[in-house]
Every structure is written in C-alpha cells, then in structure tokens.
Amino acid sequence: MKIEASVTANKVLAGLYSSLSDYTEYEALFEAFDQFLDQEFVPQASGETWQHFFKDHFMRANEIFEKAHTDLETPSRYASRQPVPTAVLSAQQRLAATNSLFDQAFAHPESEGLIEDLKATKQWSLVSSLLSGDLDTPVLFQVSGTAEATDIVIASTVELLDEQLERRSKYLALRLAKPVWKPQLEALLTSVYDLTPSEIEIIQLIFEVADLALIAERRKRSIRTVRTQLASIYSKMNVAGQTQLVILIASLLQLVGLDETHSALSLDQDVSLPMRTIRLPSGTLAYTEFGRPDGQPVLLLNTSYPPEMNDRFRDACRDAGLRILSPYKPGSADCSSRDRTVGPELLAADYKAMLDHLGLDQVIVAGTASGGLYGLEFARQYPAHVEKLILVDTGVPFGSFKDLRKLPKTIKRTMMTARYMPDLLLAPHKIIAANFRRSSAGEARVVDYIFADSPVDSTLTRNKGEYYQLTRRMISYSFDDVPRLVSDVCRWAADWSSLLSDVSQTHNLVFVHGAENTMFQIAPIQELCATSETAHLIAQPDLGQLQIFVSPQAFIEAVRR
C-alpha cells in the first residue's frame, strides 16, 4: 500500500535532516514534531500510517550523526578526557587548554614557562611541519619540567572545534609521558599485599620521583629509614628491588586504567569527596560518601544528578547527622560500563552487594528524578533492607495519553515519544548532546532548552551562577551515556503504577516535590497521598525541579518523618 506523507510529517523529516546538516538548527525539527503530536499522532493507530516510517528515518539519522560528529569537541573537552597531563595549543602556538593533571604538574606560570622551553629547543622547528601536515609522526621533546625530573613531551596534531570561529581547526596536543598515580590502586595494594599507608606513600613517591634523597626530604625522614621501609615493601610484594617494583606498579596502573572511561562530556568529580570502589561479579561499582561517617545511612540513587549533589545539600546532610551513600551510574567515574538494558531490576543486586560490603542491614532509600524508579525496584526486591523510601521529584506515573497531552511542549515531546515511539529518541538526544559539547555558547543554549518550560528553574539558571553550574554538571552527567539516558527516560515515561502500588503495600513513601515542577506536576501526587495511608507529600512552594538543591531541608524532613 502506498503511503502518502502528510504535510506535518514531511516537515518533521525535513527538520530531522536539516539538523543533521547543521545540528545547531534543531528548532525546526522540534516545532514540526510538536505539530505532529498535537494534530496527527494517535497511539495504537490501526493499519500502516506515516508515523511508522519515522522509526526508520530516525534510526538512520542516528547512524549518520554518529559517523559525522563523534569526534567533534573543543580543546578543553579534549584535554579533560586525556589520562595523562595534556596541554593544547592553537595553530598560532598559543595555549588553548590544559587538563587538571597538567595543572598539577605545572602551575599556570610554569606551564607557560614549559611551553617557552619547548619553543627554545631544536625540535620546535618541526611543529610547523606537524601543523601543515608535512610531518605525520609525533615530535618528542625532553625538557626539565620540574626541579626534580626531566619530562618527556610528545607533540601531535588533533582536529578540534574552534569556539570562536565555530569550525573544525587543527591544534597541537602536548602530552607528558609522566607517571600518573591512580588513587584506586591504593585499595588494591592494601588488600593484596597488606601494605601500610606509609608504605603506599613511599611506593607512590618511588614511582613519581625515583630519588631516595628527595623522598626522604619530602617525608622528613632519613634515607636510612626510607631504605628500611623499602626493604619491607620488597619483601611483602616479592620483588627484588626498585626496578622490579616500578615495573610491577606500572603494570598494575595500566590494568586499573582498563576499567576507566574518559568521556568527552564528563566534568571533573568534586575532588573533596572520596570515591570508593567495590569489586562485584558484574564489574566495579563506584560510589561517593558524604555527611557524617557515624550518621544514619541513606542510600541515594541518582540517574541524572551527579552523586555528589551540591555544597548546600551536603552541608544540610552533615548537620542533620546523615551518612549519604550514593553510587555512580554504570560507565561513570570508575563504574564498569553496562549495557543500557541493564536497569533497576539488575542494578538492585549491585546496591545490595554494596550495603553488604559496608555491613549495613537496613537503610533509608532515596531516589531523585528517574532514580526514584531504581529506589522503588530496590525496595520491591529487598523489602527488609529498606526502612522507608523517599522519592525526590520522581512524580507518579502518567495515567493516560490524555495526561501526557497536558504537559508543556518541551516535556511532552520527550515523554510522549518515550512512551509510544521510543526508537525516535536517540537521534534528537545526541543532537542536543552535541550542542552541549560544541562550545560554551552551545552549552548555555542547552541549559536554556532543558528548562524552557520551567520558569522557576530557568530564572535560577539565568540569574545565579551556582545553579547554572549545577545544571551544567547535571546535563553533563546525563549526556555521559546518551543511550542509557534515553533508556531511563523511557522507563520514567512508561506506566510504572504496578511497581508503585507493590512498594506502597510494604513501605512508607515520602514524596519531596517542587510545587512548580512542570515535568511531573504536583496535583497527581496530592491525589495519591489523599487516598493512601502509606504515601506522604512534602511540597516545596515556589520551587521546581531544582528544589532539593535550593532547599534541602525538605529532604531532611522526609528522612526524619
């Protein structure tokens, strides 16, 4: 049967392929899709209709987009994901970006000095050939980067996005062949070789400095004491001397690095918080912990918010005597990657293993946004281990197509598509992620898009830098794995009323919700709580989706209730 495309459907496809040509131009696609949803879309329509063809076009668009844009990133994004100290220079040989490892090795004035030292070497004349393409092999430099050692620097070219010109340009990447100690190695050495913290510190210094006199000076000990401690290390680790020790540590660091993911979208973790790892049959689980070590344990499950939350929330939890344990999602931080189909049902076992490892028999469980579904599933599978469940801006399931149609347009196009046409979501999300990655202007544009239909949150992000940066981190954490993000959105948009009903039979549920949350409005939660003895609502007046970060006291009240 021949299918005639409607004018609206044609506009959707035209907008889709226009956004592939220039993915900053996505408004036409979204406006046409809004029209389609309002005028033509009918769920479970009988027979063949034009909407069925959308799946093929959107999936093909995703393939095209992947091939065209996977390597597009700014110098700062490129530098941030490098596992070694890295600086990026423009074609005009000016410093464009550095990563945190480079900044640790060379403070800002010294970094400029290092580059000047490189320019003074004979090899620097080869850089022009590198940038012009006449030389296709990297250039190696040996310079005195610090007072303690000579560093090896490898220069190579890379094509990145020039934020000012909004186009692909050639840059010079300077990467230091410098040993980088990984904190997660400490737990491995302690568990396997029974090393003391002092011995681990000496191993790290041997690896980084390789000079006993400097190590003794740093540790304010005699060289004889350092040699005595080294002898103990050699005995425990069954190595013959310093050379074998360094080879073993280098090998272990390389193996530890295999589990790491370096995403171009990831922002640096808050270094003030400890990140701990647990080895599970499914891989490595990473989590962060804050609050009071001896406080009331709360398992906080996030899917779109970074686990460390913000200073205001952490301070409130500490002052309230809470011990917050918050796992990273698969593929983030040091967590092993998992297929996007691995959701709440399977990850519940990982969270249970984490609590067992920590010796915790019962905890309060809290889930933020779609993380509430993970909390509900954990409570269903392990009811005896959950004291109560707190759902922060998770909402309640959308009951019908009619309920979805009432949503603001930005949220409706996401949630309605997630429920009825999930295969269409991946390409638009990758287009938005690419805009976020593209430049600081693209980043700001995406922040505005996320809260386009939430005036309260939009006002916060536009007028207060704290909440702009918070939203930026939130988006970055979500876009770290776009397929997983899309899967979680689809779970959230589905009808999970049976899950909610099952858990409400066995546990008290406390909803903490912003009264101005436009994604999941507060009225259906109020209706549920009015008819349920186990469901309770703590509403945050005049606040939206960012309410827990603005006013964490409501969360504290939910824990204590």
C-alpha–C-alpha distance, residues 18 and 11, integer Å: 10
C-alpha–C-alpha distance, residues 117 and 176, integer Å: 14
Asked if residues 166 and 205 have their Cβ atoms less than 8 Å apart, the reply is no
Instruction: Give the C-alpha distances (Å, rounded to integers) separating 12 from 36, 53, 412, 464.
Output: 8, 11, 16, 36
User: Which pLDDT score is estimated for 264?
Assistant: 37
Q: In sequence order, which ranges of 359-438 are alpha helices (DSSP H)? A: 371-381, 401-405, 409-420, 426-438
275-397+496-560 matches 75-176 in CATH topology: no
User: Which pLDDT score is estimated for 449?
Assistant: 92
In tens, the pLDDT along 403-458 reads 899 899 999 999 999 999 999 999 999 889 888 877 777 888 899 999 999 999 99
How many CB atoms within 10 Å of residue 222? 10
Output phi, psi for 37, to 5 deg. Answer: -65, -40
Radius of gyration of the chain (CA): 27
Asked if residues 302 and 329 have their Cβ atoms less than 8 Å apart, the reply is yes
Q: Residues in the chain, how many?
A: 561
User: Which pLDDT score is estimated for 326?
Assistant: 96
Look up the pTM and report it: 0.70
Strands laid side by side in the 283-291 sheet? 275-280, 283-291, 322-327, 296-301, 363-368, 386-392, 509-514, 535-540
User: Which pLDDT score is estimated for 109?
Assistant: 59
Task: Output the tens digit of pLDDT for each of the chain's 561 residues.
Answer: 344 457 888 899 899 988 887 778 888 999 999 998 888 888 865 445 666 778 888 988 888 877 665 556 788 878 877 877 889 999 888 889 888 778 877 765 556 677 788 888 888 888 888 888 888 788 888 766 444 455 788 899 988 877 776 677 889 999 887 666 776 677 778 878 888 888 988 888 887 777 888 888 888 889 899 899 999 999 999 998 888 888 888 778 766 654 443 333 344 444 457 788 888 888 889 999 999 999 999 999 999 888 999 999 999 999 999 999 999 999 887 788 888 889 999 999 999 999 999 999 999 999 999 999 999 999 999 999 999 999 999 999 998 898 899 899 999 999 999 999 999 999 999 889 888 877 777 888 899 999 999 999 999 999 998 999 899 989 989 988 899 999 999 999 999 999 999 999 999 999 999 999 998 999 999 999 999 999 999 999 999 999 999 999 999 999 998
All structural domains of the chain with their residue ranges: 7-72+401-488, 75-176, 184-257, 275-397+496-560
Phi-psi region for residue 435, left (φ > 0), alpha (ψ -120 to 50) or beta?
A: alpha
Tracing tokens 């009323």 back to the chain, one arrives at 497
Structure tokens at 391: 């759902």
Structure tokens at 56: 């093929």
User: Which pLDDT score is estimated for 364?
Assistant: 98
- Domain 184-257 falls in which CATH fold? Arc Repressor Mutant, subunit A (1.10.10)
User: Which pLDDT score is estimated for 68?
Assistant: 65
Exposed/middle/buried for residue 12 (C-beta within 10 Å: 0-12, 13-18, 19+): buried
- Choose the CATH number for 75-176 among 3.40.190.10, 3.30.450.20, 3.30.930.10, 3.40.50.620: 3.30.450.20
In tens, the pLDDT along 242-277 reads 888 888 887 787 666 544 433 333 444 444 577 888
What b/e string do you get for 432-448 counting C-beta neighbours within 10 Å, with b at 16 or more? Answer: bbbbbbbbeebbbbbbe
Beta bridge partners of 367: 301, 391
Q: What CATH architecture is 275-397+496-560?
A: 3-Layer(aba) Sandwich (3.40)
